[in-house]
Amino acid sequence: MLKIESPQKVGLHPDRWKTCLKLLVDFCKSDQTPAAGLLVSREGKTTGTHLFGRQQLSGVNGSIQDDAIFLIASITKPLVAMAILQLVERGHFSLADRVTEFIPDFGKEGKHGITVRHLLTHTSGLPDMLPANRELRIDHAPLAEFVKQTAQIKPDFSAGRGVQYQSMGFAILGEIIQQVSGKTCAEYLQSEFFTPLGMHDTTLGAPDDWFAGEEPTINRIAEIRTPEDMEGCDWNWNNRYWQQLGAPWGGLLTTPMDLARFGQMMLNKGEVDGTRFLSPATINAATRNQLSCMRDVPEADRRCRPWGFGWRLNWPAHSANFGDFLGPNTFGHWGATGTAFWMDPDTNTQAVIFTTQPQEPHGKLLAKIANAVSAAVV
């Protein structure tokens, strides 16, 4: 699917590409991030996966494994969105359908009007996280409890009248996938996308067998430097509970090369090696500004902070995570664990940028790396 080539054949300026890679080396040596991974491809060609830093926080520089797996947090969301759109393609429902058609209890507290479209575009009024988020994680609550509590809360505004990033909307989308397909969100993604795309080191929630054997797969997961309020907890990003939860809003485990396979499918308008996963019409809809025709959404959001279906589009005058030089049709997402993933269809370029240093809300390291990547593209 992706052919390994020299920087020149990929379409990268050799000297500028070296500068880009050195930037990641320097970030790791200075401990601005414990580890970093980068993969850039153009026209289906790549220089491969480049990994730097250390596998464990207590390790030494240069010790990251060449098969390292990363927890990519909210980059999970657009992949879940594409699963939803695949079900729409197959005629199971439309984006105008109300959530209550799949989850009857969801209509409480003024949420009856929320549709699938609202969940995909962050216009539902649902919160990013539940008020009891910390307590749920301390209790090692299952996904069903997150869905249940989301169904009980009152939205912050009426659906379609604002934009508010809402992880809990993707908890609900995961439940819709299960109600419609009969498979959990993790099972659906695995069977419909990951396995056929050859994403063999990708899973939404680590299976039990990843923890078994003398050299368990779980040891390949690069350790994340957690915020102070997560340190020492048995529910943080580095803990088995979170690694196995499979949160549709942020639980995906993958490698740079695996995620680039998904990205190539997106750049190919839904087709890879003769297998069609999604239609060009679906890809086009998912990656264009869906807020532009929502008349009750504030004008500044519609014009300057656009969303597709699950995908964050390029935001003018906003450096965070994506940097400053990407084209107007770029789409992608970022993750709270220090990750970014974007595709520019105008140049047929994608970049997978992983670190293990949380950077929200500004994503400064990610933005610097994105700028260096953009400058290397010729």
The pLDDT, as a whole number, for residue 60 is 64
- Tokens at 89, concatenated: 């393609």
Q: Which tens digits make up the pLDDT trace of 201-235? A: 999 999 999 999 999 999 999 999 999 888 889 99
The pLDDT, as a whole number, for residue 64 is 96
On whether residue 46 sits in a domain, the answer given is yes
How many domains does the chain divide into?
1
Q: Which tens digits make up the pLDDT trace of 264-309? A: 999 999 999 999 999 999 999 999 999 999 999 999 999 999 999 9
Q: Which residues of 205-234 are buried (b: 16+ CB within 10 A; e: fewer)?
A: bbeeebeeeeeebbebbbbbbbeeebeebe
The predicted model gives 46-60 an average pLDDT of 93
Q: Which tens digits make up the pLDDT trace of 127-165? A: 999 999 999 999 999 999 999 999 999 999 999 999 999
On whether residue 81 sits in a domain, the answer given is no
On whether residue 322 sits in a domain, the answer given is yes
Dist. CA 83–CA 106, nearest whole Å: 21
The predicted model gives 335-347 an average pLDDT of 98
pLDDT score of 61 more than 60: no
Output the CA–CA distances (angstroms, integers) from residue 70 to 81, 119, 343, 352, in the order listed.
Answer: 20, 26, 19, 11
The pLDDT, as a whole number, for residue 361 is 87
Query: 59: pLDDT confidence band, cut at 50, 70 and 90?
Result: confident
On whether residue 351 sits in a domain, the answer given is yes
Q: Which of 305, 320, 323, 324 is nearest to 360 (CA)?
A: 320
Dist. CA 243–CA 190, nearest whole Å: 16
Q: Which tens digits make up the pLDDT trace of 162-196? A: 999 999 999 999 999 999 999 999 999 999 999 99
pLDDT score of 200 more than 90: yes
CA dihedral (308, 309, 310, 311) in degrees, to 10, reads -30
On whether residue 348 sits in a domain, the answer given is yes
Task: Write the DSSP string, 139-151.
Answer: TT--HHHHHHHHH
Q: Which tens digits make up the pLDDT trace of 83-132? A: 999 999 999 999 999 999 999 999 999 999 999 999 999 999 999 999 99
Domain range enclosing 270: 3-69+199-274+316-376
Dist. CA 169–CA 40, nearest whole Å: 30
On whether residue 247 sits in a domain, the answer given is yes
CATH code of the domain containing 370: 3.40.710.10
Query: 15: pLDDT confidence band, cut at 50, 70 and 90?
Result: very high
Mean pLDDT across the chain: 97
DSSP label of 163: -
pLDDT score of 62 more than 80: no
CA dihedral (316, 322, 323, 326) in degrees, to 10, reads -70
Dist. CA 138–CA 245, nearest whole Å: 13
Q: Which tens digits make up the pLDDT trace of 362-378? A: 999 999 999 999 999 99
C-beta of residue 83 within 8 angstroms of C-beta of residue 193: yes
Strands 70-71 vs 275-276: parallel, antiparallel or unpaired: unpaired
**0.95 surpassed by pTM:** yes
On whether residue 86 sits in a domain, the answer given is no
- Please count the CA atoms within 13 angstroms of the CA of 73 that sit on its side-chain side: 22
On whether residue 223 sits in a domain, the answer given is yes
What is the percent of the chain with per-residue pLDDT over 90, rounded to a whole number?
96
